[in-house]
């Protein structure tokens, strides 16, 4: 039935007098209501035949839920939301969209921070969360394959008896394929890497419905020299080149012992200098997080803690007991040499969690500094040696712009986040925040850095992407996009 409909729709498109795509979002009104409704009905019925009517929705509330993520970008709802149960559904529905030039927006857990799921041109949102099977765990080979609906916490929960874990931790309980699509990273990246280093293979549905295995079907070796690196082409593509339906991930063994420590410093320079020196000494530190004085104050007030209000490093070491003792000794020497305070320690999980509460609740602590505010989380990354400079200049810029922006960051990677408070009812402040963010992006670019360390380009950073890569880089990206998505239906309006 679906095949007949597909052929019918394709024929309609080929032979119809309307050469331009007939299906846009609700805001377009330059065609007769009749044909748009007919088109919508036809498509929805075809989807219902493929995935079942309970897995297709045009209800406004559902569409609005799927038109926004956790960023400040306004909600841009799609026209239809579908829940495929398997890759065949995804492929068939993608073919229908391709045949009718209808935008496709893949949707995971909706925890993105750059507006990547908005549908400015309407279209069909593919909510992949019902494809939630964990397939093929290979403990001896340290790899596992998961479908698009499996979240990070669900996977680690499944693995807890095996002695293995997936350490990339972006904070939110994001879907793993979504993390692959945005090349996510997190607090552990300094030791375990980001998604780029930990995705071995992907199953991707292309714009025209073809199903691609980026490293070949079922292949899961630790390394390969075969052909073009298609896997890393799709990692970070934010849904603009294809829909990721499966990912094969590299796992690590759960550390035998974990020790956390908190150390405060007299200045930002001292804290970041310590970071650089710790990395240079070759210590395989697992987490090294920086919170500035504004953030420490926010955390003390929100989480009712009593940390000194000064630049602070939150450290975590993973390893065997004996190696940890050595790691910690060397680190302590470095921090003391930079004027750092005595360490506050934790080894057992309860105390460690308490210690890290400040860092984990930092987003809410920042918002609580001025109740009623929203916040925009910036995300730039520079070479580690330039970090003191970029943080200090950013703090000065915040002062000059009269903005409140507590800073927290994965300084081990040279990546930091400035949680700038925004009054939703103050257009002047909104403008200042926008300009501040552009200046921050450009500041990072001027220091050999990138305008986004882990959140992605999404809707808001396309201009910065051009500055970062230059015209040749962007042209090559556009050529790739044209090859894989000639009709520009894959998440239009994002990245490039």
Region for 447 from its dihedrals, namely left if φ exceeds 0, alpha if ψ lies in -120 to 50, beta otherwise: alpha
Residues in 289-328 that interact with another protein by CB under 8 A: 321, 324-325, 328
The stretch among 68-76, 213-221, 254-262, 428-436 that binds another protein (CB under 8 A) is 254-262
- Least distance in angstroms from the C-beta of 134 to another protein: 9
Report if residue 158 touches another protein, rule: CB under 8 A.
Answer: yes
How is residue 473 written in tokens? 């880089």
Residue 410 CB-density burial (10 A; 0-12 exposed, 13-18 middle, 19+ buried): buried
Pick from 160, 301, 370, 400: which binds another protein (CB under 8 A)?
160
Of 165 and 416, nearer to another protein (C-beta) is 165
Region for 477 from its dihedrals, namely left if φ exceeds 0, alpha if ψ lies in -120 to 50, beta otherwise: alpha
With contact defined as beta carbons under 8 Å apart, do 489 and 103 qualify? yes
- Least distance in angstroms from the C-beta of 53 to another protein: 14
Of 160 and 301, nearer to another protein (C-beta) is 160
- Least distance in angstroms from the C-beta of 359 to another protein: 18
Of 259 and 380, nearer to another protein (C-beta) is 259
Report if residue 161 touches another protein, rule: CB under 8 A.
Answer: yes
The site string for another protein over 25-64 (x = CB under 8 A, - otherwise) reads ----------------------------------------
Pick from 163, 284, 337, 486: which binds another protein (CB under 8 A)?
163
Pick from 257, 267, 297, 344: which binds another protein (CB under 8 A)?
257
Of 16 and 136, nearer to another protein (C-beta) is 136
* Residue 165, strand partner residues: 252
Query: How far is 154 from 148, CA to CA, in rounded Å?
Result: 12
Coil vs helix vs strand at 191: helix
Pick from 164, 181, 421, 489: which binds another protein (CB under 8 A)?
164
The stretch among 86-94, 152-160, 420-428, 468-476 that binds another protein (CB under 8 A) is 152-160
Residues in 258-277 that interact with another protein by CB under 8 A: 259
- Least distance in angstroms from the C-beta of 93 to another protein: 24
Coil vs helix vs strand at 172: coil
Of 348 and 428, nearer to another protein (C-beta) is 348
Query: How far is 108 from 179, CA to CA, in rounded Å?
Result: 9
Residues in 331-370 that interact with another protein by CB under 8 A: 332, 345, 347-350, 353
- Least distance in angstroms from the C-beta of 70 to another protein: 24
Output the 3-class SS for 137-162: EEHHHCEEEEECCCEHHHHHHHHCCC
Of 254 and 392, nearer to another protein (C-beta) is 254
Report if residue 479 touches another protein, rule: CB under 8 A.
Answer: no
- Least distance in angstroms from the C-beta of 52 to another protein: 17
Query: How far is 118 from 494, CA to CA, in rounded Å?
Result: 9
Residues in 77-116 that interact with another protein by CB under 8 A: none
Query: How far is 151 from 138, CA to CA, in rounded Å?
Result: 18
Structure letter (DSSP) for residue 484:
H
Q: How many residues bind another protein (CB under 8 A)?
A: 27
Report if residue 284 touches another protein, rule: CB under 8 A.
Answer: no
With contact defined as beta carbons under 8 Å apart, do 204 and 212 qualify? yes
Query: How far is 130 from 211, CA to CA, in rounded Å?
Result: 19
With contact defined as beta carbons under 8 Å apart, do 449 and 414 qualify? yes
Of 136 and 162, nearer to another protein (C-beta) is 162
Neighbours of 42 (CB within 10 A): 16
Query: How far is 469 from 108, CA to CA, in rounded Å?
Result: 28
Query: How far is 110 from 117, CA to CA, in rounded Å?
Result: 8
Query: How far is 39 from 237, CA to CA, in rounded Å?
Result: 29
- Least distance in angstroms from the C-beta of 160 to another protein: 6
With contact defined as beta carbons under 8 Å apart, do 490 and 240 qualify? yes
Report if residue 129 touches another protein, rule: CB under 8 A.
Answer: no
Query: How far is 127 from 147, CA to CA, in rounded Å?
Result: 12
Of 4 and 160, nearer to another protein (C-beta) is 160
Pick from 165, 265, 302, 436: which binds another protein (CB under 8 A)?
165
C-alpha 239: how far from chain center: 12
Of 334 and 440, nearer to another protein (C-beta) is 334
Pick from 21, 193, 216, 255: which binds another protein (CB under 8 A)?
255
Sequence-ordered list of residues with C-beta below 8 angstroms from that of 234, at least 6 positions apart, any chain: 180, 181, 202, 204, 214, 241, 242, 244
Query: How far is 19 from 40, CA to CA, in rounded Å?
Result: 18
How is residue 331 written in tokens? 């680190």
The stretch among 106-114, 213-221, 247-255, 475-483 that binds another protein (CB under 8 A) is 247-255
Pick from 329, 425, 471, 483: which binds another protein (CB under 8 A)?
329
Q: Which residues bind another protein (CB under 8 A)?
A: 154, 157-158, 160-165, 253-257, 259, 321, 324-325, 328-329, 332, 345, 347-350, 353
């Amino acid at each position: 039935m679906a095949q007949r409909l597909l052929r019918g729709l394709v024929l309609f498109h080929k032979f119809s007098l309307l050469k331009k795509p007939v299906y846009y979002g609700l805001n377009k009104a330059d065609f007769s209501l009749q044909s748009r409704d007919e088109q919508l009905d036809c498509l929805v019925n075809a989807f219902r035949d493929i995935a079942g009517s309970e897995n297709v929705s045009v209800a406004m509330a559902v569409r609005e839920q799927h038109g926004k993520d956790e960023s400040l970008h306004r909600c841009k709802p799609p026209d239809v939301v579908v829940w495929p149960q398997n890759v065949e559904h995804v492929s068939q529905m993608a073919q229908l969209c391709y045949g009718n030039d209808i935008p496709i927006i893949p949707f995971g857990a909706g925890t993105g921070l750059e507006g990547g799921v908005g549908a400015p041109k309407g279209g069909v949102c593919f909510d992949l969360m019902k494809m939630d099977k964990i397939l093929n765990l290979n403990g001896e080979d340290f790899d596992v394959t998961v479908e698009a609906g499996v979240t990070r916490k669900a996977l680690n929960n499944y693995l807890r008896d095996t002695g293995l874990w997936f350490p990339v931790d972006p904070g939110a309980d994001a879907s793993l394929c979504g993390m692959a699509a945005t090349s996510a990273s997190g607090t552990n990246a300094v030791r375990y890497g980001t998604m780029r280093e930990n995705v071995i293979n992907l199953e991707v549905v292309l714009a025209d419905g073809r199903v691609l295995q980026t490293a070949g079907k079922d292949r899961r070796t630790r390394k390969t020299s075969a052909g073009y690196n298609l896997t890393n082409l799709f990692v970070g593509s934010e849904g603009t080149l294809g829909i990721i339906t499966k990912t094969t991930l590299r796992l690590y063994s759960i550390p035998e012992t974990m020790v956390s420590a908190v150390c405060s410093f007299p200045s930002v320079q001292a804290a970041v200098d310590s970071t650089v020196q710790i990395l240079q000494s070759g210590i395989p530190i697992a987490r090294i997080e920086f919170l500035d004085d504004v953030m420490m104050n926010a955390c003390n007030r929100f989480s009712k803690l009593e940390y000194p209000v000064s630049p602070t490093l939150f450290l975590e070491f993973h390893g065997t007991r004996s190696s940890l003792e050595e790691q910690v000794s060397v680190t302590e020497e470095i921090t003391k040499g930079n004027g750092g305070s005595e360490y506050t320690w934790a080894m057992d999980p309860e105390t460690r969690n308490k210690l890290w509460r400040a860092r984990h609740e930092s987003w809410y602590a920042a918002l609580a500094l001025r109740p009623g505010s929203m916040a925009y989380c910036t995300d730039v990354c520079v070479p580690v040696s330039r970090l003191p400079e970029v943080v200090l200049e950013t703090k000065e810029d915040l002062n000059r712009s009269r903005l409140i922006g507590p800073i927290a960051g994965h300084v081990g990677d040279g990546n930091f986040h400035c949680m700038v408070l925004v009054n939703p009812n103050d257009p002047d402040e909104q403008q200042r925040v926008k300009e501040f963010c552009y200046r921050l992006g450009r500041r990072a670019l001027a220091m050999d850095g990138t305008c986004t360390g882990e959140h992605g380009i999404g809707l808001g950073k396309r201009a910065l992407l051009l500055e970062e890569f230059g015209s040749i880089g962007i042209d090559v990206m556009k050529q790739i996009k044209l090859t894989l998505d000639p009709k520009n239906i894959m998440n239009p309006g994002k990245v490039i």
